[in-house]
Amino acid sequence: LKIFAYAIREDEKPFVAQWQEDHPEIEVQFTDQLLNEDTAKLAQGADGVVVFQQLEYTQKTLKALADLGINKMSLRNVGVDNIDQAAAKKYNFQITNVPVYSPNAIAEHAAIQTANVLRQATVMEQKVQAGDLRWAPTIGREVRDQVVGVIGTGHIGQVFMKIMEGFGAKVIAYDLFRNPDLEAKGYYVDSLDDLYAQADVISLHVPDVPANVHMINDESIAKMKDDVVIVNVSRGPLVDTDAVIRGLDSGKVAGFVLDTYENEVGIFNNDWRKKEFPDARLADLIKRPNVALTPHTAFYTTHAVEQMVIQAFDNNLLMIEGKEAKTPVKF
């Protein structure tokens, strides 16, 4: 049996080698190239492919794989929003993802960045670098004094809740699908409006499905408390970036943590130092001292990357052996 993996980065190679060592009977080949309709042919002869990219898995790409007799595809990440679902169905694809590679990686990044914004840590650091060692006006807000509103209480949301409680914050939550344990402990508010009315920090941990697109917009921001801090380490399209910028400009929004951005594909994970920066709005956000922006790196830890690689290969092997995968994607 043979597995072909796309877009393998340097930091993933030791884990690919580790998996290969543990499965000497399987032929593993890989490339650093992304999967697209042209590179699909590299997988010729493989029984399954392991992939990871933010660009779309298009109809043409999936057809190109299907034409080679390959219809078992394992994503090394959680999000499946970039798959042409109709094409996946049409070509009979069996797809797996890695829904839980490390909730802590993402949750702790959100928590660190939130604390950073509340305490104005970056502002103080910049002042110090510039030789200004005065305290004022860089006064912080303690995390324990905040009501933290968590939208989405899946694996990541739950870890974020625990970390924020560790800081001493009061945590409230909203989810369409309530977790019974959290429900019994009284975390849930009845509506998003209730959460907006009570929370000083609002953190999103929901998927990018059509109903959630731009859930943070002018109208929802108007319902929030003054000086709210908005945190999005989930998916860019959840937030109407222009609305948050209006909130930052008016002073209604005190801080914005973002690790995902609605136009990030092709911009994040690229070196712009010697090229013209392609997005003026993003450039403006990056310059703001009360905005903590990272280029979709919340997931990027050794623990997470190891799990992404190992679980994706494990899933792919199960499928190509005709067994049930551990985490199949059901559209």
* Least separation in angstroms between CB 83 and ligand COI: 11
**Cα atoms in the 13 Å half-sphere on the side-chain side of 23:** 18
Instruction: Return the closest-CA partner of residue 226 out of 200, 192, 195.
Output: 200
Q: Which is nearer to ligand COI, 54 or 301 (CB)?
A: 54
* Least separation in angstroms between CB 269 and ligand COI: 8
Residues 147-176: x/- map of binding to ligand COI (CB under 6 A)?
Answer: ------------------------------
Among the options 264, 288, 321, 324, which is catalytic? 264
Buried b / exposed e over 248-267, threshold 16 CB at 10 Å, is beeebbbbbbbbbbbebeee
Binders of ligand COI among residues 276 to 305 (CB under 6 A) are 296, 299
The residue range among 15-23, 72-80, 118-126, 208-216 that interacts with ligand COI, by the rule CB under 6 A, is: 72-80
Among the options 76, 109, 205, 296, which is catalytic? 296
Q: Which of 39, 66, 79, 170 binds ligand COI (CB under 6 A)?
A: 79
303 is catalytic: no
Q: Which is nearer to ligand COI, 82 or 198 (CB)?
A: 82
- Would you state the structure tokens that stand for residue 320, as one six-digit string? 């190509």
Beta strands in the chain (DSSP E): 2-5, 27-30, 48-51, 72-75, 94-96, 147-151, 170-174, 201-204, 228-232, 253-258, 291-293
Q: Which is nearer to ligand COI, 82 or 122 (CB)?
A: 82
Nearest-angstrom CA–CA distance, 103 and 107: 6
What is the Rg, in whole angstroms, of the alpha carbon atoms belonging to the chain? 21
The residue range among 29-37, 73-81, 130-138, 323-331 that interacts with ligand COI, by the rule CB under 6 A, is: 73-81
Reduced DSSP (H G I as helix, E B as strand, rest coil) percent helix, strand, coil of the chain, to 5: 40, 15, 45
Return the residue matching tokens 């409680």.
165
Q: Which is nearer to ligand COI, 118 or 231 (CB)?
A: 231
- Asked if 78 is part of the footprint of ligand COI (rule: CB under 6 A), the reply reads yes
Helix, strand or coil for residue 292? Answer: strand
235 is catalytic: yes
- Would you state the structure tokens that stand for residue 15, as one six-digit string? 């884990």
Binders of ligand COI among residues 30 to 59 (CB under 6 A) are 54
Among the options 76, 235, 262, 306, which is catalytic? 235
Instruction: Return the closest-CA partner of residue 151 out of 171, 180, 165.
Output: 171
Nearest-angstrom CA–CA distance, 191 and 240: 20
Q: Which is nearer to ligand COI, 9 or 162 (CB)?
A: 9
Which residues of this protein are in contact with ligand COI, per CB under 6 A?
54, 77-79, 296, 299
Catalytic site positions: 235, 264, 296
